Amino acid sequence: MTSALFSPAKLAGLELANRIVVAPMCQYSADDGCANDWHMMHLGMLANSGAALVVVEATHVERHGRITHGCMGLYSDDNELALQRVIAQCRRAGTAEFGIQIAHAGRKASAQKPWDGAKALGPGQDPWPTFAASPLPWGEGWHVPREATEADLERVRNAFVASTQRALRIGFDEIELHMAHGYLMHGFMSPLSNKRTDQYGGSFENRMRYPLSIARAVRAVVPKHIPLGARITGSDWRDGGLTPDDAVAIAKALKAEGLDFICVSSGGALADIRTPSEPGYNVPIAARVKKEAGIVTRTVGMILKAQQAEDIIASGQCDLVSMARCFLDDPHWGWHAAKALGAEVARPPQYQRAGPKLWAPAAATA
């Protein structure tokens, strides 16, 4: 049996052993943006999950661009050194390639960690001022951001470039820009959150102007062989918001800026929007993006089962699949999927006796 999911893929100059990607997942556990032993354990575990590529959580370009006090950043030398240590060790111990998501939280910044309530930080919790496309809170009880000025936009764009350069020095194999989930760039793109009347608001072209300028500036410093992509919004799931038609147009615009791939996610523009919860809810949108924009396309969202992932790839709807929660539940998801689909997957030599070929109850007692 030949598995499409376990067939190799090429993203710019990066060779991937299979089509499985671990989606970026905030751990809310960093120290002033610095990765620590938690990240060593978490990413080390995922390095041997069977996924060809593990994408490091949303990593923020400035201190006030973080979602929470525990979010990761690449805004200081200390941040860079700390993440370098973790990634170097994960590479020594694991089989996966490593990517990173570069982000700015915009009006969703200055928030509590999920286990502290996931609300806006209160007065005694060291909150900080936020800014966004328009001075509208994300939801009830959230900080009212100030409208981003030209100076903010320039500083943050430069910070995206600087953080990307730090990521390149660390040696990441893949870089992706966070343009989804209601954070700064999605906030500019969505008519639900962008009410500006200047060159950054109004028409689709104007709403795209700032995110595209970041994509352009970052592309200018990322060598061609390193894949650069973006996670975008497939739908705002709200009347008057971004639609799958917009997702196709966004993907085309990003492709024209030289991006190599798109990851289609959705939702998050406003606090009260509920994303669908059925299996593979973003797949039909991603399939349209792949077909109509003609760019390497990945998707995410309730992809849970090996056969489901196999079918998404085998049917040509997407080039890659990413999964988040099921890798937390089963950090060897990729190994188990390979067994189910009769495919080969890389394992570290220390764990090879758990592989299908070497697995024999008698040998297991040694």
Ligand X SMILES: Cc1cc2nc3c(=O)[nH]c(=O)nc-3n(C[C@H](O)[C@H](O)[C@H](O)COP(=O)(O)O)c2cc1C
Task: Kindly state whether residue 101 participates in binding ligand X, applying the rule CB under 6 A.
Answer: yes
Residue 329 in contact with ligand X, rule: CB under 6 A: no
Q: Considering only residues 261-300, where is the footprint of ligand X by CB under 6 A?
A: 265, 300
Q: How far is the CB of 1 from ligand X (least distance, A)?
A: 25
Check binding of 23 to ligand X (CB under 6 A).
yes
CA distance 322 to 86: 22
Pick from 106, 145, 187, 301 the residue near ligand X by CB under 6 A: 301
Residue 148 DSSP symbol: P
Binding segment for ligand X among 18-26, 163-171, 195-203, 356-364 (CB under 6 A)?
A: 18-26
- Using the minimum distance from each CB to ligand X, give the nearer residue, 173 or 201: 173
Identity of residue 141:
G
Q: Is 183 a catalytic residue?
A: yes
Q: How far is the CB of 211 from ligand X (least distance, A)?
A: 15
Task: Report CA-CA distances (Å) from 105 to 49, 127, 308, 312.
Answer: 28, 14, 32, 31
- What stretches of 130-271 show up as alpha helix (H) in DSSP? 150-170, 184-189, 204-219, 244-256
Nearest distance from C-beta of residue 179 to ligand X, angstroms: 9
Tokens for 242? 């971004």
Look at residues 277, 304, 295, 299 and name the one whose alpha carbon lies nearest to residue 286. 299
Give the pairing type, strands 228-233 and 296-299.
unpaired
Region from 141-149, 250-258, 320-328, 331-339 binding ligand X, contact rule CB under 6 A: 320-328
**Which residue in 6, 24, 120, 130 binds ligand X (CB under 6 A)?**
24
CA distance 50 to 270: 35
Terminal CA-CA length for the chain: 32
Q: What is the Cα–Cα distance from 132 to 182, expressed in whole angstroms? A: 10
Nearer to ligand X, 66 or 181 (CB): 181
100 binds ligand X (CB under 6 A): no
Number of residues binding to ligand X, judged by CB under 6 A: 19
- Taking a C-beta distance cutoff of 8 angstroms, is the pair 71, 355 a contact? no
Helices and strands (DSSP H and E) totals, the chain: 10, 13
The site map against ligand X for 179-198 (x = CB under 6 A) is --x-----------------
Q: What six digits make up the tokens of 6?
A: 């376990």
- In the list 43, 54, 58, 100, the residue contacting ligand X (rule: CB under 6 A) is 58
| Stretch 200-239: interaction string toward ligand X, x if CB under 6 A | -------------------------------x--------
Q: Which of 120, 215, 289, 302 binds ligand X (CB under 6 A)?
A: 302
Look at residues 303, 300, 304, 310 and name the one whose alpha carbon lies nearest to residue 341: 310
What is the SS3 assignment for 277-308? CCCCCCHHHHHHHHHHHCCEEEECCCCCCHHH
Nearer to ligand X, 265 or 297 (CB): 265
**Active-site option among 28, 183, 210, 281:** 183
Tokens linked to 252: 């085309």
Query: Which range of residues in 142-150, 254-262, 323-331, 343-351 is near ligand X by CB under 6 A?
Result: 323-331
Please report how close the Cβ of residue 68 comes to ligand X at its closest, in angstroms: 11
Enumerate the active-site residues: 183
Binding site for ligand X (CB under 6 A): 23-26, 57-58, 101, 178, 181, 231, 265, 300-303, 323-326
